[in-house]
Structures are given as structure tokens and as C-alpha cells.
Amino acid sequence: MSQEDIERLSRGYEAFNEGGVDAIVERLAPEIQVHERGSSPDRETYHGRGGIRELFEATAEAFDELRFEPEEFIDIGDHTLVLVRQHVRGRGSGAEIVGRIAHVWTMQDGRAIDLRIYGDKEQALKAIYVEGQAQSQG
């Protein structure tokens, strides 16, 4: 992955934190796929920009705040592993939860084409190197 793609991803996280999904959807490839982490109760794969909106609409039902703070970008060939601190606040409870997750991005022609979400760095690396789950979509 190029340094330019890593910079695009970094700016994308900033834009999301400032303006939500509307601030990033046009930055994504029309055929983007997002794969939820395996521990999600209703694990799904979301397809296209409409799927991204669907994912965040469902998230907005449970949380009134969602922020992603990237802590580290790791270039792994065709992928970029981003270690992320995730902040959420429950819509009804107001409870704030902070945790770390891992995003594995695949870029194509300067746009994100695939995002796979993992519970941590080790799970993401295992998927990339051992299981081959994060294969390039190119």
C-alpha cells in the first residue's frame, strides 16, 4: 500500500469523526465491502455505499456517539492494518465504552474497496498471514 493511501485513510478517519458517514461515503469505492468482526452477534458483510449507510444507521440506533481514533498504521503489502481506539456512547444508557479494534483496509485506485474488522491486532494478522481472509480484492 502506498504512503498516499495511508494518508487518505488517516484523513478519512478525521472526516468521519467530524461529519459521520456522510463525510466519507464518497471517498469509498462504489463496490466497497465491509466485513464485521466475527464476534458481532449478527455478523454481516455490507456491500456498496448503500451498505455502508445501512451499517451506520443500525449503529446509530444503539449509539449516539461513535468515534475512531487511529493509533497506528501498518503497511502489509496490499493491505493496511490500522489499530484503532473506538469510543462509543450508548443511546439510552449514556454509558461510554472505549476499546481497541483492528481494521484491515484494501485500497484500489486511491479508494477503499474492502474493510475487515477484527477484535485485535493478533486476529487481524492471523487473518492476513495464516487464514488468507484479507486477500486483495484487486
CATH code, 53: 3.10.450.50
Sheet of 96-108, strand order = 45-47, 28-35, 111-118, 96-108, 79-90, 63-76
pLDDT in tens, 41-64: 567 899 999 999 998 888 878 888
* CA atoms of 18 and 96, how far apart (whole Å): 18
pLDDT classification of 133: cutoffs 50, 70, 90: low
Calpha distance 11→99 (Å, rounded): 21
In-domain check, residue 136 = no
Number of domains in the chain: 1
Residue 138, in any domain of the structure:
no
Whole-angstrom Cα distance, residue 115 to residue 45?
A: 10
Conformational region of residue 20, where left means phi above 0, alpha means psi within -120 to 50, and beta covers everything else: left
Q: Is residue 103 part of a domain?
A: yes
The answer to whether residue 91 sits within a structural domain is yes
Per-residue pLDDT of 87-130, as tens digits, reads 999 888 999 999 999 999 999 999 999 999 999 999 999 999 87
Q: Amino acid identity of 63?
A: F
The closest of 43, 60, 38 to 120, measured between CA atoms, is: 38
Q: What is the pLDDT of residue 136?
A: 38
In a domain, 45, yes or no: yes
Judged against a pLDDT cut of 50, whether residue 135 lies above it is answered with no
Query: Would residue 137 count as lying in a domain?
Result: no
Cα–Cα distance list, 21 to 50, 51, 68, 92 (Å): 11, 11, 12, 21
By residue range, what is the domain housing residue 73? 3-131
